[in-house]
Amino acid sequence: MAALMVAAFALVACGNQSTGGGTTKYVVGVSNTLTGNGWREEMICSIKAQAKASGVVSKVIVANRTTDAAGQIADIRNLISSGANVIVINPSDRDALNAVIKQATDKGIVVVAVDQAVSEPTAYVVSNDQVAYGQLGADWLAKQLNGKGNIIEMRGINGVPADTDRHQGLTTALAQYPNIKVIKQTFTNWSLDPAAQQMKDIFSSGIQYDGIWTSGIDSTVVDQFQSSNKPFVPIVGADNNKFVQELATLKDKGLKGAAVTNPPPIGGAGLAVGLAVLQKTHSYDHVIHLTPQVWDNTTADGAAKLAQTYDSSLDPYYSVAFDVKPYTTYSKQDLISCAGPS
């Protein structure tokens, strides 16, 4: 009995590994703290698709709810107790999760933070370079305004790492343009309805603005300009499918804009890294950053890229990126089906 108790404890401590057909199978845990957001939905689907494509995952357990750091800590503890071997998290805070992450990694669980960074050194971080995201978009916008004018900054969720990093990038870029002023700042929570209402409030307020920088809530802003019959100003957003389509089709109606890439399949890439570390098939740095690109409709190359990347088979609020090479190995259909291992 004592031997059985020791073996049971070891199973919990090291995660739940099963063997079928000679192949070790692993359990994957996912912690996401924002629901009702197309980007996050695509991120989760990419994790499920990569889990299925890997052939070494038996189950994906998803803790998916809108919550804060305290709620996410509870979710991660539950994933640890559920026997996860790899836990992929989109962190709600840079530092607050460190203790529970260390609790997981001390048990031999590989923890990968995707999209946003954490400061716990035992975790892996696989994300877009969010500082560069903010900087590239703000620099493009300032150049469109010839270095002078008022802009609106529509941020994400106050206090989360990606929002802080993007704001840092924007601030760094605008330091080179002293005649560009942020006349109004909002927090959209990366949600459609708040962003739409904020634009309506801006229209009714009479604020004089010359451009809008958004943290990926872009097509909602374009839609409000159209429904309110307002003349477009230059708009910066992300490579979301609907916004890419609008940039490609509304240029003749006066829309100037740029999409800064930020692929949700970073989730699947994070899982691929986590599984490789777990299986010791590849050695990765603890921090992996993708370098974002700018696709604008004011240059021939940018316009061609936008026209090529719009994808009618994808959800309007998904990113046009369906994979992150060389990490992900699933197909576009795998992503769309959003089905994990059976």
In order, the DSSP letters of 191-229 are -HHHHHHHHHHHHHHT---SEEEESS-HHHHHHHHHHTT
87 and 152 in a common domain: no
Mean pLDDT of the chain: 93
Overall number of domains in the chain: 2
- Would residue 244 count as lying in a domain? yes
**Torsion on CA atoms 60, 63, 64, 67, rounded to nearest 10:** -160
Average pLDDT over residues 102-106: 98
pLDDT for residue 15: 52
pLDDT for residue 17: 65
Share of the chain above pLDDT 70, in %: 93
Average pLDDT over residues 55-74: 98
pLDDT for residue 342: 74
- Would residue 182 count as lying in a domain? yes
Average pLDDT over residues 309-334: 95
Structural domain span for residue 283: 26-129+264-292+317-337
66-78 pLDDT tens trace: 999 999 999 999 9
List the CATH number of the domain containing 208. 3.40.50.2300
9-39 pLDDT tens trace: 333 334 566 555 556 799 999 999 999 999 9
- For residue 72, the one-letter residue type is Q
Structure tokens at 292: 């974002």
Average pLDDT over residues 99-119: 98
Average pLDDT over residues 137-157: 98
- Would residue 76 count as lying in a domain? yes
Q: Is 187 helix (H, G, I), strand (E, B) or coil?
A: strand
Does residue 150 register a pLDDT over 80? Answer: yes
pLDDT for residue 2: 39
Closest Cα partner for 278 from 29, 93, 78, 48? 29
Distance CA 235, CA 327 (A): 31
pLDDT for residue 143: 98
170 and 147 in a common domain: yes
Q: Degrees (nearest 5) of the Cα angle 179, 181, 183?
A: 155
Q: Yes or no: say if 128 and 289 are a contact pair by the CB < 8 Å rule.
A: yes
91 and 164 in a common domain: no
Distance CA 324, CA 42 (A): 13
Per-residue DSSP letters for 98-163?
A: HHHHHHHHHTT-EEEEESS----TTSEEEEE-HHHHHHHHHHHHHHHTTT-EEEEEEESSTTSHHH
326-341 pLDDT tens trace: 999 999 999 999 999 9
271 and 166 in a common domain: no
84-103 pLDDT tens trace: 999 999 999 999 999 999 99
Does residue 42 register a pLDDT over 60? Answer: yes
207-216 pLDDT tens trace: 999 999 999 9
Q: Is 29 helix (H, G, I), strand (E, B) or coil?
A: strand
pLDDT bracket for residue 261 (50, 70, 90): very high
Q: Degrees (nearest 5) of the Cα angle 221, 227, 231?
A: 70
Closest Cα partner for 69 from 26, 98, 43, 109? 98
pTM over 0.85: yes
270 and 159 in a common domain: no
- For residue 202, the one-letter residue type is I
- Would residue 2 count as lying in a domain? no
Q: What is the CA radius of gyration of the chain?
A: 21
- Would residue 107 count as lying in a domain? yes
Distance CA 272, CA 283 (A): 12
Distance CA 313, CA 11 (A): 42
204 and 221 in a common domain: yes
172 and 104 in a common domain: no
289-303 pLDDT tens trace: 999 999 999 999 999
- Would residue 208 count as lying in a domain? yes
Share of the chain above pLDDT 90, in %: 92
Average pLDDT over residues 259-278: 98
149 and 120 in a common domain: no
- Would residue 83 count as lying in a domain? yes
